[in-house]
Amino acid sequence: MIGISHETVSRGENDTLPTPVVVVGTYDKQEKPNMMTVGWVGICCSKPPCVAVSLRKATYTYSNIVERRAFTVNVPSEKYIKETDYGIASGKKVEKFSATRLTPVKSDLVDAPYVNEFPLVLECKLLHTIEIGLHTQFIGEILDAKAEEAVLEKGVPDMKKVNPILLVPETWLYYGVGTYLAEAFSIGKKI
């Protein structure tokens, strides 16, 4: 306990956990592609590989995922920060792909479009829908991951080349990924 005092920062400040910010791609009933920027995202299983995204029921993307049972998770590079932030606006009112000039590409594997300009794309089939509260969590099985050739290093995406954007909730600020620190499953052996 020496020298450390923890203060309650209230439940509203819960989400100061940094998160990668991603764009979820879906089709609506009329085949119109939509993109929505999401911060409540995370890998949630390795076998089968799954990713979870949480959305409010009121969003356009929510209805699209319920209808199509598919979505893509697109990881933007820092150079697309404006387009990514724009993706927070509602798809019911604006054509976000047109407005941002990003290119929707129909996935061969799932009934959803991915963002062609983004370096890393996960194509997902809906597996589970969990009603939590304000947000509904969709768990998608990742049927394929696609990466832009330019970001690959020995066949694996290199994080400094992908150059993703981190969102820090509560303060609502974007950060980049910083310096390399250490290898996992390795530095802890020095304890």
| Under rule CB under 8 A, residue 133 binds a second copy | yes
> Cβ 48 to a second copy, closest distance in Å?
5
Element (H, E) at 149: none
Residues listed for the chain:
191
| Three-state SS at 42 | strand
| Under rule CB under 8 A, residue 170 binds a second copy | yes
Closest residue by Cα to residue 174 from 88, 81, 53, 42: 81
Closest residue by Cα to residue 129 from 117, 121, 140: 140
The residue count for binding a second copy (CB under 8 A) is: 107
| Under rule CB under 8 A, residue 180 binds a second copy | yes
Site for a second copy in 22-61 (CB under 8 A): 22, 39-52, 54
Per-residue interface string for the shown chain with a second copy, residues 76-105, x marking contact by CB under 8 A: --x--xxxxxxxxx---------xx--x-x
For 152, phi and psi rounded to 5 degrees? -80, 140
> Cβ 70 to a second copy, closest distance in Å?
16
Nearer to a second copy, 68 or 121 (CB): 121
> Cβ 61 to a second copy, closest distance in Å?
15
- Per the CB < 8 A criterion, the answer to whether 20 and 120 are in contact is no
Closest residue by Cα to residue 35 from 86, 81, 107: 86
Q: Which stretch binds a second copy (CB under 8 A): 25-33, 62-70, 136-144?
A: 136-144
